[in-house]
Amino acid sequence: MTKLPTVVMTYNIFPEIVHSKLKPNAKVVIAKTRSELKKALIRADALISLLSDSIDKELLDYGRNLRVVGNYAVGVDNIDLRECRKRGIAVVNTPGVLTRATAELALTLLLAVARRVPEGEKLCRNNLFKGWKPDLSLGQELKNRHALIVGKGRIGKETAKLFKAIGLRVDWITKADGRKQTALKLRKTQILSLHVPLTKNTKHWLDKQKISLLPKDAIVINTSRGSVIDEKALIAALESRKIFGAGLDVFENEPVIPLRLRRLNNVVLLPHIGSATFKTRKAMADLVICGILSVLRGKRPLNLVQ
């Protein structure tokens, strides 16, 4: 009887898929803490990690037999890709299947900020709504406003479709744009939506200088990674009302959200739920499991991170 490979998971993602697709083909070990993970990796052939897991050199040193890391996310900034390449460890992720869900959340955040939804909801829940007034909770109408999307990948393109559907005029920041062209675009941008992976080049892409170029009625949306924005600079701009507001699904030091940010009423905060629909999270589990099984069978998976 052929010995089954050992797959270590840091979280039991969609147990029914694990039971139907993974357990018949592998020995599954759940390691919930970093110390448990170190011990489990000693005999592991594969690892399924979450975006909140730091898969660094220290952990990889324990995985002497590790052949593949499957990240239950599309972003892989939590994995030391250089170390994986040096060791011949394949990395797979979950591209494509979370595109629509994340784009829909970007639109949700935009609408919530523009129409000041959390403020209105708070009024009602706290029994502070005292009747209709002409100037109560005035927000922004979005038709014909200028939207600038940073990142022309799957999610950026899908977000652009949704933005256009509600009448926004969409432009892009591209790799070809120099500082001068970027500055010109930012000066006329009323909605800035970020859809780039976190790399050395994109860390703090939206910094104090770029924020200062945005008009006073600008809205910033981020569903990518928190560190794409200089969080302190954004907080300062929100506090001083230099921009209208922001909708954030991600933060620099998750799960920690600065008190200064939580106190603001011109920002909508969500707990990194861009892909959080039943359909999407199930599809992500299916894709990452199929990817690691392909590698373990000696095949090249379609979701291999290059």
- Triad 27, 21, 79: Cα angle to 5°: 70
Contact 249, 225 (CB under 8 A): no
* Whether 104 is catalytic: no
What is the full DSSP assignment across 252-269? TBTTB--HHHHT-SSEEE
Q: From CA 244, how far away is CA 115, in angstroms rounded?
A: 11
Handedness of CA 115, 170, 269, 32 (dihedral sign): positive
Q: From CA 209, how far away is CA 299, in angstroms rounded?
A: 47
Task: Please tell me the number of Cα atoms within 13 Å of 41 on its side-chain side.
Answer: 25
Which one of the listed residues 145, 154, 195, 225 is annotated catalytic? Answer: 225
Tokens of 150: 């940073």
Three-state secondary structure call for residue 229 = strand
Whose CA is closest to 7, among 46, 61, 63?
Answer: 46
Whose CA is closest to 245, among 270, 225, 217?
Answer: 217
Give the number of other Cβ atoms within 10 Å of residue 303's Cβ. Answer: 20
* Whether 19 is catalytic: no
Which DSSP helix (H) or strand (E) runs through 101?
helix 99-114
Q: What are phi and psi of 183, to 5 degrees?
A: -65, -40
* Whether 300 is catalytic: no
Which one of the listed residues 100, 116, 154, 272 is annotated catalytic? Answer: 272
Active-site annotation, residues: 225, 254, 272
